[in-house]
Structure 1
Amino acid sequence: MRVVDLLVLFLGLSLLISCSPQKQADSRPNILLIVADDLGYSDLGCYGGNIRTPNIDQLAKHGIRFSQFHTGPTCAVTRAMLLSGQNNHVAGMGIQDGLLTNSPMIGKPGYESNLSDRIIPVSQLLQESGYFTYTTGKWHLGKREEDSPQQKGFDRSFNLLQGGSNHFNKIGIEPDDTLSLFREDGQIVDYPEGKYSTQFYTDKLIDYIQEGKVKDPGKPFFAFAAYTSPHWPLQVPEDYLDRYEGDFDIGYDSLRVLRFESLKESGLIPPNASLPPRLASITPWNELTPEEKKIESRKMELYAAMVDNLDYHIGRIIHFLKAEGLYDNTLIVFMSDNGAAGNDFYNETWSRDFIRKHYNNDYENMGKENSFVSYGPQWAQAGAAPFNRFKGYTTEGGIVSPIVIKPHKPTTTGLVNNAYFTVMDLAPTFYELAGTAYPGNTASKKIKPLLGKTIVPLLNGESSIHSEEYVTGLEHRGRMFVRKGNWKLVNLQPPLDNKKLMLFNVAEDLGETKDLSKNNPEKFEELLMDWKDFVKKNEILLHQVNQ
């Protein structure tokens, strides 16, 4: 063949290739959602805490901290709302961890204890719209295969099915659930013995993201890092056991005051806020014996070490994203799933026999894989400063959580935003950024509209997304709240009884210490009507909620 013919052939092939349709890189942002388990409001360095969290603090420096982010009062309740953009009853989590076998609510909508058929999970819709979808860590939204992450739209997954587990093995932590269950990509698998949970879940997630980048470099991802830290049992790797030795010898009473003042200095609470009184059930620090103080301090040392370790592994993900050129186009959301946890399972009647049989809480053994430490209401109240109570309650201490968001195209950074918004608002935010219309192409007639509202305006510097007339509410196991503007109606303890409801103005009383129901009967009746309307819309079975 002559040179001129070869030249003509080469030019022809080049023209053909250049005219062929080329796959365009998807410019939509990646979404990294990181959820800490039972992290207190004031624990992070960027939220006034004295625990070392440099990686999360850096996210705050390049992003936004929010002071009025509201979740559910417990783990699964929040997760159902987070992945659905809906109320917990509509999403199927009217009661966490199932019903008694004789409960009249079995089979009733709202009490499935798994994601219901009335919602579309975020993962499913983002998968449908062209995202890789990954999750590792805690699921807590159903043990059946049909309720697994794989069936809810996750391409790759490795998850604990229950609400908690030993952090080094599959030994259970509850008398009725003696072995922890795990699924990988839908199949029941064993947990790798001896691997520390936070490190293992991080390794898995990085592997999944790397695998997707190799498979399709231009395809965006949604990654849900659902860590089980710092959820009890408070266990850490050996090199973290003594990192905070002596740091909490000041005690929980003094720590609460220091955290409270630090939050003021950080601009996260108003300068005129008042610290609510210590709960009557908590023994004052100065009344403890030296031995009791020693044990109490050790509990908080271990908790702080878990948070420190969590921050380190979050840093690993961030460094990976930067090394792979993915960081700048990734929205990163870091949040806690509820308020600080006030349980003390080693001493509680229902759990102590099982836990003491399988775990050893001698002082020298605390924090190791065969110990079971939980720090109790005394430290939880310090972690919940400046609010009233903690996880499980519908007071602010149970449902206001830290959240740090690093936008993929930041317009304002390092700021504090005091806008009120809820965990239901995150799903609509993800949909807007992904250019995805809810409920997608496969929705049935059962699917309910979103309750949440996008917070993209807040990320762009606006100061609010909800009006003063916006109503939110929640009920779980007889505890409830309904809120309109700054006014909030609360039932503190079950059973749910309208005569026990308390009225607070949370803008003026963060600690919910002044019941205004008698002084403001008209506002009380207004919110009571809002609550009744909320119950009707969400099909809550009020006469049976305490079953």
Structure 2
Amino acid sequence: MSGQTDIQRSILPIPDRRSTIVTTFDAKDPDTAFPPITPLRPPAGAPNVLVILLDDVGFGASSAFGGPIAMPNAERLAKTGLRYTRFHTTAMCSPTRAALLSGRNHQTVGMGGITEMATSSPAATSIRPNTCAPLAEILKLNGYSTAQFGKCHEVPVWETGPTGPFDHWPAPGGGFEYFYGFLGAETNQYYPAIYENTVPIEPERTPEEGYHFMEDMTDKAIGWIQTEKAMTPDKPFFVYFAPGATHAPHHVPKEWADKYKGAFDDGWDALRERTFAKQKDMGIVPEGTDLAARDAVMPAWDDMPEELLPVLRRQMEVYAGYLEYADHYVGQVLDTLEQLDILDDTLIYYIIGDNGASPEGTLQGTFSELISINYRGDIETPEFLASKIDDLGGPDAYNHYALGWAHAMCTPLQWTKQIASHWGGTRNATIMHWPTRIAPETSTPGGGIREQFTHVIDVAATVLDAAGIPEPSTVNGITQEPLHGISMLYTIDDADAAEQHHTQYFELLGNRGIYHKGWSAVTIHRYPGLPGITQMTQGFDEDRWELYDGSTDWSQAHDVAADHPDKLAELQRLFLLQADRYGVFPLDDRKAERLNATIAGRPELIRGTSQTLFPSMRRLAENTVLNIKNRSYSVTSEIAIPEEGVAGTIVAQGGRFGGWALYAVDNVLSYCYNTLGVDWYTTRATSPLPAGTHQVRAEFAYDGGGLGKGGGVTLFVDGTPVGSGRVEQTHPFIFSGDETTDVGAETATTVSGDYDARDSRFTGRIAWVRLDAGDDSHDHLIDPEYVYHVALRRQ
């Protein structure tokens, strides 16, 4: 691949060089000559770069690393690439993604937690400082084409509305020239909340027509790559391919889940044993490694109720199908690179998980995350779950598997996602593939294994090293913080090369750890926020530290703190030094306070008790709309009705798994409150709407007496009551993780079953819609601990 090696690249953008010597008067003069225009390109030999980042996949899931789930395309890359068995993330999605794309530790770039929990502390603002230019920006300013597909979850929540600003969106602010994906932690894979750059768009097909976001984003990525290589074949690309898989909801076509029928019938404890044996046989874990014990707060398979077992088994079958399905589409991207004859010239990272497997599906799993998040676990009895078993994985479910399966997916390690102290939360199977640089003799016939300690912050340094691009000293006039990672290229030629990433701290939600030259000292401050798990309540100084000797204990199975108190004290001091260096302090284990924008010190997009919306406003995320939960409220709109009558949505918030809508059916004003996708409460007017311009209103009078209570509904036309009804129970916490508020038509799924999204466009005219919240809020009754649980289970 051609490139330019005679220009300085330490100051970005690269200053333009303009010839200022003019020796002729007439351009027709034979002596008239200027250097030809040369498009900017990276240095010669710079590879294409493809970074694949899956979501919520534990170390022990993939068949390429001894796991039970077939990932033939991961194996395909591993056979001629390198498998890294000690690659680490941060234990949670937003921090891992921010670290990956910046090459700096997550607190340094303001992502000490998820965006929804941002505070004014520099470690947790969710705002990447301009002293830490992202990898995509550095590559773009050196002549790369850049594109991101799939999940983001890095945009500050107050900037996710249609007015931006867009400085922290993938495109344009994150350095990507093109973005196709979703902004939040998760999305419905059948009805996703997609943005193309900064514009919300809707899928062209329905689930019944075969739509799934995994296929869609893959098609978009393939099309983008093909176009880039057709138009500018000499220009390398950087593609960041980040599916929602396998974050909940675990959505996958039934035939993929059915491939695993019966595979997990003996439960998660037996699965851990089988996986561990396979990992040892494959050399993924070294001889002498022990299987780390299951923590006492996690249930054993034998302790689960017999009537629940069929549902638990199906949960894991669906998850396994989902992961293999995602790998299948990764394979289609690889096929495209092969067909374009650029696979060998492409540096590929296949990072199988942005943290450990997710424990957020509760101790028994859930048919719909929204049920458990809204603290209505009482609905999901064994009988209820059994009645929904055939829906799991399909568009009528929003399912997540049980904690026990998540722990099994992290075999042979302790703990899961959220737990940054232990390897189960942070160690992720990773493959590097680059045939131009990775010679066959550097690996065994089944692929090379590399055991050096590595971390997600090493990816940016590796990519720049591979491209021959120096770290810039300034970007857009701003002096840059040096990269924190170490290039991994030194591991390619020598499997036994001494590791160069000697020290790495870990911190998230108060859980802390430090790795240094083979040793790790860790302390768990908080368990995952789940119903049924009693939280620890000690202060930071009371946390109990553990010590592990990595030279003899690969899996952190044997705490040797009592045997080596001096070594433990040495590492504890080192943690303090590293935490201070990278801006971790102050440690923050506050709960509801971090969800209150005023206390946390972050901007809030919506203030007051009233909000006016207009017909062009669609895809408004829940945190950009007035909160009307746990109180009385009214929804008022001025509409124009033609002589033939109207139908369609005036305004709606949420969708199939919960929300409310004001709409018309056959010219009759209607209001529907959908409680958790389980109960629908519909109120209709007793007479049709008259033609002309009118003001319609739905008033909800909250019963009070606690959270999520019911209330009475009254419909009005021009101030005159025209219908009444009742809602027996409401959502106390959230309507959805990705469904939105829409005026004039519904996107994705619909709140009411009276119509679908394609039939939801209002056939009259809407001048405005106003939401007004009452002064009877019961939010002061919310348990701070549970508010914290809600936030964590939305990431």
Instruction: Tell whether the structures are fold-level matches, with TM greater than 0.5.
Output: yes
For residues 355 and 244 of structure 1, what CA distance do their matches in structure 2 show? Answer: 29
For residues 377 and 136 of structure 2, what CA distance do their matches in structure 1 show? Answer: 37
* Alignment correspondent of 1:15: none
C-alpha contact (below 8 Å) 1:467/1:485 kept by paired residues: no
Q: Confirm whether residue 147 of structure 1 aligns to residue 180 of structure 2.
A: no
For residues 150 and 498 of structure 2, what CA distance do their matches in structure 1 show? Answer: 31
Query: CA separation of 1:546/1:153 partners in 2, compared to 1, >3 Å: closer, same or farther?
Result: same
How high is the TM-score relative to the length of structure 1? 0.88
Query: CA separation of 1:209/1:386 partners in 2, compared to 1, >3 Å: closer, same or farther?
Result: same
Q: Confirm whether residue 396 of structure 1 aligns to residue 396 of structure 2.
A: no
* Alignment correspondent of 1:121: 134
* Alignment correspondent of 1:383: 409
Deviation readout 1:14-35 (Å, 9 max, x if unpaired): xxxxx98998995321011101
* Alignment correspondent of 1:458: 491
SS in 2 for 1:302: helix
1:431 Cα deviation (Å)? 0.4
Q: Confirm whether residue 268 of structure 1 aligns to residue 284 of structure 2.
A: yes
* Alignment correspondent of 2:74: 56
For residues 546 and 438 of structure 1, what CA distance do their matches in structure 2 show? Answer: 37
For residues 315 and 229 of structure 2, what CA distance do their matches in structure 1 show? Answer: 41
Query: CA separation of 1:516/1:441 partners in 2, compared to 1, >3 Å: closer, same or farther?
Result: same
Within 5 Å, which residues of 2 pair with 1:281-430? 281-335=297-351, 336-344=353-361, 346=366, 350-353=373-376, 362-394=388-420, 395-409=422-436, 410-411=438-439, 412-413=442-443, 414-430=447-463
Deviation readout 1:259-287 (Å, 9 max, x if unpaired): 00111111111221111223323333234
Query: CA separation of 1:167/1:499 partners in 2, compared to 1, >3 Å: closer, same or farther?
Result: closer
1:445 Cα deviation (Å)? 4.6
C-alpha contact (below 8 Å) 1:202/1:317 kept by paired residues: yes
Task: Flag the structure with larger Rg.
Answer: 2
For residues 39 and 126 of structure 1, what CA distance do their matches in structure 2 show? Answer: 28
For residues 27 and 276 of structure 1, what CA distance do their matches in structure 2 show? Answer: 44
Q: Confirm whether residue 253 of structure 1 aligns to residue 269 of structure 2.
A: yes
Q: Which amino acid aligns with 1:387?
A: L
Structure number with higher strand proportion: 2
* Alignment correspondent of 1:183: 195
SS in 2 for 1:332: strand
Deviation readout 1:333-352 (Å, 9 max, x if unpaired): 10121111112153885445
How high is the TM-score relative to the length of structure 2? 0.61
Q: Which deviates further from its counterpart, 185-194 or 448-457?
A: 185-194
Q: Pick one of 559, 572, 579 that aligns with 1:515.
A: 559
Within 5 Å, which residues of 2 pair with 1:440-455? 441-442=474-475, 444-445=477-478, 447-455=480-488
Structure 2 unmatched ranges of 5 or more: 1-34, 160-165, 527-538, 592-795
Q: Which deviates further from its counterpart, 419-428 or 278-287?
A: 278-287
1:484 Cα deviation (Å)? 0.7
Deviation readout 1:307-341 (Å, 9 max, x if unpaired): 11111101111111111111111111101211111
Q: Confirm whether residue 477 of structure 1 aligns to residue 509 of structure 2.
A: yes
Q: Which amino acid aligns with 1:529?
A: R
Within 5 Å, which residues of 2 pair with 1:77-156? 77-99=95-117, 106-143=119-156, 144=159, 145-150=166-171, 151-156=173-178
For residues 355 and 369 of structure 1, what CA distance do their matches in structure 2 show? Answer: 23
| Equivalent residues, number | 512
For residues 499 and 297 of structure 2, what CA distance do their matches in structure 1 show? Answer: 37
Deviation readout 1:162-218 (Å, 9 max, x if unpaired): 011111114xxxxxxxxx4x4312333345554312111111111111121122111
Q: Which amino acid aligns with 2:197?
A: D
SS in 1 for 2:258: coil
Q: Pick one of 512, 523, 535 that aligns with 1:491.
A: 523
Name the Cα RMSD after superposition: 2.5
C-alpha contact (below 8 Å) 2:294/2:414 kept by paired residues: no
Structure number with higher helix proportion: 1
For residues 540 and 216 of structure 2, what CA distance do their matches in structure 1 show? Answer: 42
For residues 36 and 556 of structure 2, what CA distance do their matches in structure 1 show? Answer: 65
Q: Which amino acid aligns with 2:460?
A: A
Deviation readout 1:122-150 (Å, 9 max, x if unpaired): 10000011100011000010153221011
* Alignment correspondent of 2:468: 435
* Alignment correspondent of 2:569: 525
Query: CA separation of 1:349/1:198 partners in 2, compared to 1, >3 Å: closer, same or farther?
Result: closer
Q: Which amino acid aligns with 1:135?
A: Q
Deviation readout 1:75-122 (Å, 9 max, x if unpaired): 11111111111111001101213337xxxxx33312112433231111
SS in 2 for 1:60: helix
* Alignment correspondent of 1:239: 255
SS in 2 for 1:419: coil
For residues 297 and 39 of structure 1, what CA distance do their matches in structure 2 show? Answer: 18
C-alpha contact (below 8 Å) 1:268/1:418 kept by paired residues: no
* Alignment correspondent of 2:88: 70
SS in 1 for 2:496: coil
* Alignment correspondent of 1:173: none
* Alignment correspondent of 1:502: 546
Q: Confirm whether residue 34 of structure 1 aligns to residue 46 of structure 2.
A: no
